[in-house]
């Protein structure tokens, strides 16, 4: 099963679990046989949009973000473009949908830091934009579930981190290869080209080491040192207590000290 297909199904399963809806109830409300629903939810077949739409409406899920994810998953699964278009156009035009007001506020607050983090790791504007849009769509589809979690910001950040790191370059051991981030690191203006190039080369070592840090430490370092956010802002974005962010940065500095004498990738925020 391809990653985007898995995300579609996971969003539906979460909604079923949170609402306590059974396959039998879905059959009764949507008119799709239990056997077919079971095969779809196990990932044994890629469902048409018609079937996905019926399931979503039966579960009172937002259909606009789900359709965007479904179309991307269908392309990822190499479904013919004609089949994708026919499947979506055969369903009645969906009514306009707006995200919950709290999600709109979260989106406004987090869009810029999410994109800066994604851009730093992925190095391509278009890829960063797409992954951030995907994360906000996932949050919308899973909003009822997300708001029951101990920390909404932490839950949202976990989604972002998972989607960004899934697309990052990897070492053979599976850890993210962040060496290309050295090229886009903030360097002092006025530095002569040779010095700037030497700095970039020296920073590749530290970014390579950052990529091998535990996820919480890695995120704190990237957001604080490379993106330039304060410890308090990092705490807000990641849903982590400020004291924990401070501890993560201290721990990371000690861990990186053997690799780089001044682990400050990007200069002082």
Q: Which tens digit of pLDDT belongs to each residue from 144-164?
A: 999 999 999 999 999 999 999
pLDDT value at residue 106: 97
User: Is a pLDDT exceeding 60 seen at residue 194?
Assistant: no
In this prediction, residues 236-265 reach a mean pLDDT of: 84
Chain segment 37-48, per-residue pLDDT in tens: 999 999 999 999
Q: CA quadruple 45, 49, 53, 54: dihedral positive or negative?
A: negative
pLDDT at 201: 55
Please say whether the beta carbons of 206 and 263 come within 8 A: yes
CATH class of 3-89: mainly alpha
CATH code, 179-256 = 1.10.10.10
Average pLDDT in the 120-132 region?
94
Which range has the worst mean pLDDT, 143-152, 173-182, 196-205, 254-263? 196-205
What is the CA angle 105-108-114, rounded to 5?
A: 125
- Predicted TM-score of the model (pTM): 0.88
The helices-and-strands tally (H runs, E runs) of the chain is 14, 0
**pLDDT tens per residue, range 100-116:** 999 999 999 999 999 99
**8 Å CB contact between 245 and 234:** yes
Does pLDDT of 185 surpass 70?
Answer: no
93-107, 130-144, 200-214: range with lowest mean pLDDT? 200-214
Same CATH topology for 3-89 and 179-256: the answer is no
Neighbours of 123 (CB within 10 A): 16
Could you tell me the residue ranges of all domains in the chain? 3-89, 101-167, 179-256
Q: Looking at the predicted structure, is the pLDDT value of residue 200 above 80?
A: no
Does residue 55 carry a pLDDT above 90?
yes
d(CA 265, CA 227): 9
Cβ neighbours for 252, distance < 8 A, ≥ 6 positions apart = 210, 213, 217, 218, 220, 221, 263
């Amino acid at each position: 099963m391809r990653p985007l297909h898995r995300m579609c199904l996971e969003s539906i399963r979460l909604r079923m679990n949170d609402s306590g809806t059974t396959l039998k109830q879905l059959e009764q409300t949507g008119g799709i046989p239990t056997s077919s629903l079971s095969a779809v939810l196990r990932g044994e077949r890629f469902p048409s949009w018609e079937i996905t739409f019926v399931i979503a409406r039966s579960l009172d899920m937002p259909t606009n973000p789900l359709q965007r994810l479904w179309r991307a998953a269908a392309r990822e699964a190499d479904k013919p473009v004609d089949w994708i278009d026919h499947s979506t156009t055969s369903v009645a035009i969906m009514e306009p949908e707006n995200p919950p007001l709290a999600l709109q506020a979260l989106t406004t607050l987090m869009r810029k830091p999410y994109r800066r983090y994604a851009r730093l790791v992925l190095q391509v504007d278009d890829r960063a934009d797409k992954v951030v849009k995907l994360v906000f769509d996932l949050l919308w589809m899973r909003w009822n579930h997300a708001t029951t979690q101990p920390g909404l910001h932490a839950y949202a950040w976990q989604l972002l981190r998972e989607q960004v790191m899934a697309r990052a370059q990897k070492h053979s051991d599976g850890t993210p290869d962040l060496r290309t981030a050295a090229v886009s690191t903030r360097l002092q203006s006025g530095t002569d080209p040779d010095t700037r190039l030497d700095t970039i080369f020296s920073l590749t070592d530290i970014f390579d080491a950052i990529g091998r840090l535990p996820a919480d430490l890695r995120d704190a370092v990237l957001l604080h040192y490379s993106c330039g956010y304060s410890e308090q802002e990092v705490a807000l974005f990641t849903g982590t207590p400020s004291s924990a962010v401070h501890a993560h940065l201290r721990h990371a500095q000690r861990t990186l000290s053997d690799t780089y004498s001044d682990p400050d990738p990007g200069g002082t925020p």
